[in-house]
Amino acid sequence: MTDAPTPLLVDLLTELRSAVGDTHVLTDPADLAAYDTDWRGAYSGRPLAVVRPGSTAEVAAVLAATHAAGVAVVPQGGNTGMSGGAVPDDSGSQVILSLGRMRAVREVDAVGGTITVESGCVLADVQAAAAGVDRLFPLTLGSQGSCTIGGNISTNAGGTAVLRYGMMRSQVLGLEVVLPDGRVWDGLRSLRKDNTGYDLKQLFIGAEGTLGVVTAAVLTIQPATPSRATAWVALRDVAAAAELLGVLRDHGGDRLTTWELVSRPARDLVVAAGLTDPLSTSSEWYGLVELAGPAGADVATPLEAALGEAVEAGLVLDAAIAGSPAQRSGLWALRERVSEAQEVHGPTVKHDVSVPITALADFVARTGPAIEAHLPGTRLFVYGHVGDGNLHYNLSRPEHLTSEEFLTHAAALSDVVNASVAELTGSISAEHGLGKSKAAAAAAYKSDVEVALMRAVKDAIDPAGLMNPGAVLPLPPVLLG
Ligand code: FAD
Ligand code: 2HG
Ligand code: ZN
């Protein structure tokens, strides 16, 4: 049973309907279900309404109304986030602002190397629009068929091409943002050089909807790289993965685009799901490597030379190089399908950590035994963007525990992982963001000065605390009671 909205909230709903049209304000529980829970079913809440504006002016009208009513807003893109940032709390008083109708590609400029898009554009559509003018939009995520540019900007997404092109932050030249009170900041510039004061767009990149709503962006696009050389390798160990990065760089230079790690249990998951591992050599660690270049570029020779040297040095035990686009897709699937394949073991306690690349082997060596000592039988599924020092260190339940029993250990297990990360001067969220699930843990590991600076930024831009409360920064104690 749901509580009836107060008169103030009824008035707000009326205002929202007049701002975006009746059909774009959803309050029926059957309609809310598609928005109130994340894709894994790990986080859910109870919104007052889902509002679906169709333009920047409508977003501005929505925020002006929610601000005047003192109602909190949770921006939502594709709802593929990993940290529970896009779902509301269960108070029934927060509004989900979905960008799903704002999907226009406003302009593609092949000469200037930019694409201007609305924030509800799906990442794959932006990639396709760039490809349409023989250019590349390089951000590459397993969720690219449903995540949005606004979500990518707001989480500062990473993925499998960061090694060469950087994170989402590196792709952004300009932003349009609606501020918490409904004012619009038009920073939609395509300048590569602009030293006229604070670089305000950087504040909104990675802010996870806590400072405003991103409505549009100017992004850089790159020369297309149709020549690809891709290999799946069996590694000696994790230290070899880090060393191989140097060898790959020596031979591949800036054509090295992807260097990903997959542990044996993670590889077994996707093989159990029906994929084929072309290697018969057994190893505890595997990797996916790709070099890419313009049409006609020879990327195969440097890849073969690097792998030959790595085999000589004992870093690589065996390797399979894709001989066709179909084989390439097969190798990529061995890496990209791990995340969804892990769901068969029930709820996952996810960690998205980074440490200095030279500390990766140490991180793995110390954390596994610490988890086993804490909760024997916990299954580790470790994989990730090893070239960026970023591992997804995911845990599934021991066979003797139910999912519910396992989840009672989640916080303590995360403490074990996070302590290892802190000892190695790493980060507890390399690319997925903090959402509401990791905000408190991150604050605990940051210095007082760093947390105070973050709070000062939040208070300056969202003094009423209405934008995605509890994400990135934990709620002030006064609001917890
Ligand atoms: P949502 O989940 O809807 O929102 C994420 C956060 O951004 C929330 O806090 C939300 O409030 C805020 N937000 C969304 N839109 C806006 C906006 N317009 N203005 C202001 N705030 C906004 N992530 C990686 O970094 N690397 C990966 O390799 C990767 N692989 C993935 C693979 C799979 C199979 C899946 C399911 C997810 C993966 N992700 C990965 C996580 C996720 O796809 C990214 O975080 C993505 O950037 C989220 O985009 P979204 O549109 O779904 O955002
Ligand atoms: C990936 O790299 C994604 O596959 C998802 O970031 C990681 O599911 C995860 O934990
Ligand atoms: Zn990832």
Determine the structural domain holding residue 17 and report its residue range: 7-98
**CB contact at 8 A, 139 and 165:** yes
Residue 54: the pLDDT is 98
Whole-model pTM: value is: 0.97
Any idea which ligand is nearest the CA of 140? Answer: 1
**CB contact at 8 A, 74 and 468:** yes
Any ligand 2 atom below 6 A from CB of 351? no
pLDDT digits (tens, 9 = 90+) for 183-227: 999 999 999 999 999 999 999 999 999 999 999 999 999 999 999
Last residue of a domain, one of 299, 323, 339: 339
Residue 77: the pLDDT is 98
Of 265, 423, 420, whose CA–CA distance to 345 is shortest?
265
pLDDT digits (tens, 9 = 90+) for 30-55: 999 999 999 989 999 999 999 999 99
Q: If you measure from the C-alpha of residue 156 to the centroid of ligand 1, how many angstroms do you get, rounded to a whole number? A: 8
Domain CATH number, residue 326: 3.30.70.2190
The CA distance from 361 to 341, in Å, is: 25
H or E segment and range at residue 201: helix 201-204
Residue 4: the pLDDT is 79
For ligand 2, atom 9, name the residue with the nearest CA.
Answer: 339
Both 451 and 463 in a single domain? yes
Note whether residue 11 is domain-resident.
yes
Last residue of a domain, one of 223, 240, 272: 223
Last residue of a domain, one of 275, 308, 339: 339
**CB contact at 8 A, 403 and 397:** yes
pLDDT digits (tens, 9 = 90+) for 61-72: 999 999 999 999
Q: If you measure from the C-alpha of residue 267 to the centroid of ligand 2, how many angstroms do you get, rounded to a whole number? A: 14
For ligand 2, atom 2, name the residue with the nearest CA.
Answer: 384
Note whether residue 1 is domain-resident.
no
pLDDT digits (tens, 9 = 90+) for 282-316: 999 999 999 999 999 999 999 999 999 999 999 99
User: Looking at ligand 2, which atom is closest to the CA of residue 142?
Assistant: 4
Both 444 and 376 in a single domain? no
Give me the amino acid identity at 110: A
Any idea which ligand is nearest the CA of 154? Answer: 1
**CB contact at 8 A, 472 and 207:** yes
Total domain count, the chain:
5
Domain CATH number, residue 77: 3.30.43.10
Both 211 and 122 in a single domain? yes
Q: If you measure from the C-alpha of residue 39 to the centroid of ligand 3, how many angstroms do you get, rounded to a whole number? A: 16
At residue 306, φ and ψ (nearest 5 deg) are -65, -45
pLDDT digits (tens, 9 = 90+) for 227-270: 999 999 999 999 999 999 999 999 999 999 999 999 999 999 99
User: Looking at ligand 2, which atom is closest to the CA of residue 350?
Assistant: 10
Mean pLDDT for 165-179 is 98
**CB contact at 8 A, 178 and 56:** yes
For ligand 1, atom 10, name the residue with the nearest CA.
Answer: 86
139-143-149-150 Cα dihedral, nearest 10 degrees:
-130
Both 37 and 93 in a single domain? yes
- At residue 1, does pLDDT exceed 70? no
Neighbours of 253 (CB within 10 A): 11
Neighbours of 463 (CB within 10 A): 10
| Residue 314 neighbours by CB under 8 Å, 6+ apart | 236, 240
Taking the mean position of all CA atoms in its chain, how far away is CA 105? 22
Residue 477: the pLDDT is 67
Residue 343: the pLDDT is 87
Mean pLDDT across the chain, nearest whole number?
96
The CA distance from 207 to 185, in Å, is: 15
User: Looking at ligand 2, which atom is closest to the CA of residue 338?
Assistant: 4
| Structure-token pair, residue 480 | 């917890």
The CA distance from 192 to 78, in Å, is: 29
Where would I find the beta strands (DSSP E) of 322-387? 352-354, 379-385
| Structure-token pair, residue 148 | 């949005």
* pLDDT band per the 50, 70, 90 thresholds, residue 481: very low
